[in-house]
Amino acid sequence: MNTSSSRVIVITGGSKGIGRAVALRFAEEEARIVLAHYDPDEIESNITLRALSERGIEAESHRVDVSSFEAVDGLFGDILSRLGKIDVLVNNAGITKDTLLMRMSEGDWDTVIRVNLKSVFNCTKAVVMPMIKQRSGSIISISSVVGQIGNAGQANYSASKAGIMGFTKTIAREVAARGITVNAVAPGFIDTGMSEAISEKAKENFLRQIPLGRIGRPEEVAEVVYWLCSSAASYITGQVIHVNGGLYM
């Protein structure tokens, strides 16, 4: 594959769930795909790499703590030195540590903010200058409907996802003149490993609030991410696109 003519896509949290779906969607254009993950083992990332390989895609996976500025700087420096560019960044890494505020520890707060929000700063900062120099690029950050409406027991998660929305709009203003688009996608209740941890009672409560009456699929989020990085969305920047079945309107 001629990587100089193929887009280079970096996806954090790319080993599974929405990240995997995004990688497989970009595989349809024969992109060069780099996955970042922080799983305790390589099982999920190997599944994703195998699926990409079966589609004839050059892909690689790296275990990295995206909440660490130094680790991210090292990874992105390596990617740029080897592949020469980064065309698309998808900030998808995220975790939850849910509990009511009265029971939430400082550690639970700090960890979620670091992984979900500081990682977006780290990775975006790492690609901004290269994208400015090439005068093109797309940055997509995965937010959440709870960043817009809040959710009891998720003060840390909601704050991190709301922070992504504000960060997205600000960076979009800073780099628009250089041909770079910056947007966020805010999923609702999506069928991923993260949603599997939710109790059946909570799931039923969510479903009652969704006008379309069902849980979303990772592929439906991936389609929006891909579209925002395509020429069809070249005049869209600084936006938060909600993919939630009508949970928030």
Q: What tokens does 73 get?
A: 């700087």
> 185, 129 in Cβ contact below 8 A?
no
Catalytic residue among 157, 226, 235, 248: 157
Q: Is 186 left (phi over 0), alpha (psi -120 to 50) or beta?
A: beta
d(CA 190, CA 214): 9
How far from the centroid of its chain's Cα atoms is residue 107's Cα? 23
5 Cβ contact list (under 8 Å, min separation 6):
none
Interatomic CA distance for residues 228 and 236, integer angstroms: 7
Q: Is 38 a catalytic residue?
A: no
Between CA 27 and CA 23 the distance in angstroms is 6
Residue 167's closest CA among 194, 199, 140, 137? 140
The SS3 call for residue 241 is strand
CA distance 63 to 40: 9
- CA-nearest of 23, 84, 17 to 57 is 23
Instruction: Provide the annotated active-site residues.
Output: 157
